[in-house]
Amino acid sequence: MSPHAAFRARFLEVLASIYIYNEHRGYTSLDRVLEAVRARCPGEAGFIAAVEKHRADEYKHYLMFKRWFERQGRMPLKVDRTCGHIDRFIEGVFGCTIDELDTRTIAADGAQFEKLCRVILLTEQRGMRQVEILLRNPHIRSDPVMTRIFRIVEKDEPDHWLPYHGWLTRQGRVTAKWRERWTDFWIHKSLMLAKLPAVFLNARSPRLERWPDEDAGAYAPAGQSNSRSNQLRSDLASSADRAGDGDGAKGAGFARRPVTASATTTRLGRTGR
């Protein structure tokens, strides 16, 4: 493999590994957002439906990146929440992790609920701008499947921030505060200029051993995955049932070929990767 081809392959797998983490984190976190929206706005069927679509889209995007890796015959790199935009945004604004957010408290507190809407709004607007940039990248454009994935993401993105913007506007609330905009900017720059290059250059980056939609502990640090998996397995299964079976991703032309860690190792051994 030429140096240019090796760089391209590494760039694509690092990018896809970070995206699949964020898409997985997105749809699983939106289950909790939906709880808050239904509790806070029980009579706003349109807003609730829009958030449900947002959740379904994130799951669809996750499946598309998963199938890209399946086509490659390897598992994604195992990144952590320092690669997650929404993880770091929640921690920066709320002072806790996503898993520690108290849904009931947020639903009962108007200011906290508005803050949550602004965080999601800014995160999705950032994502939309980033996809526009990526679709101009020659490495992305050289991979037809990856290009098709980002075209679908680009089409879906406006529906991911407009509902929260619309709700805040109807309530007469601000759609962003300067501190939140600064936090969003800082997170994005640190991801692009520090975290992504660090993952790219780390030749020892481990790979996932299991898919996170099949094992809730897939991203957990070594030694913690089993306990976390047992704790969250039932919640993850019910979340997948609510989202459907991913027909949207199948319709985009991503044939499903199940990959396990052992199968991936065998394939990598054959290809010399």
Write the pLDDT tens digit of every residue in 77-128.
999 988 989 899 999 989 888 888 888 899 999 999 999 999 999 999 999 9
185-224: pLDDT as tens digits: 999 999 888 889 999 999 999 999 999 999 989 998 876 6
**Is 267 buried (19+), middle (13-18) or exposed (0-12) by CB count in 10 A?**
middle
- Dihedral pair phi/psi, residue 207, rounded to 5°: -105, 155
For the entire predicted model, the pTM comes to: 0.80
224-245: pLDDT as tens digits: 645 444 544 445 444 445 444 4
Are the C-beta atoms of 114 and 34 separated by less than 8 Å?
no
Angle at 237 between CA 46 and CA 222, to 5 degrees: 120
Are the C-beta atoms of 65 and 5 separated by less than 8 Å?
no
Name the nearest CA neighbour of 150 among 159, 166, 137, 163: 137
* Per-residue model confidence (pLDDT) at position 241: 52
Q: At what angle do helices 110-134 and 178-190 cross, to 10 degrees?
A: 40
Name the nearest CA neighbour of 59 among 264, 262, 241, 260: 241
The mean per-residue pLDDT over the stretch 34-57 comes to 96
* Per-residue model confidence (pLDDT) at position 271: 38
- Residue 250 binned pLDDT confidence (cut-offs 50, 70, 90): very low
Q: Which two tokens stand for residue 152?
A: 């679908």
Count of residues making up the chain: 273
The mean per-residue pLDDT over the stretch 130-151 comes to 97
What class does CATH assign to 3-268? mainly alpha
**pLDDT at residue 251 tops 70:** no
**pLDDT at residue 173 tops 60:** yes
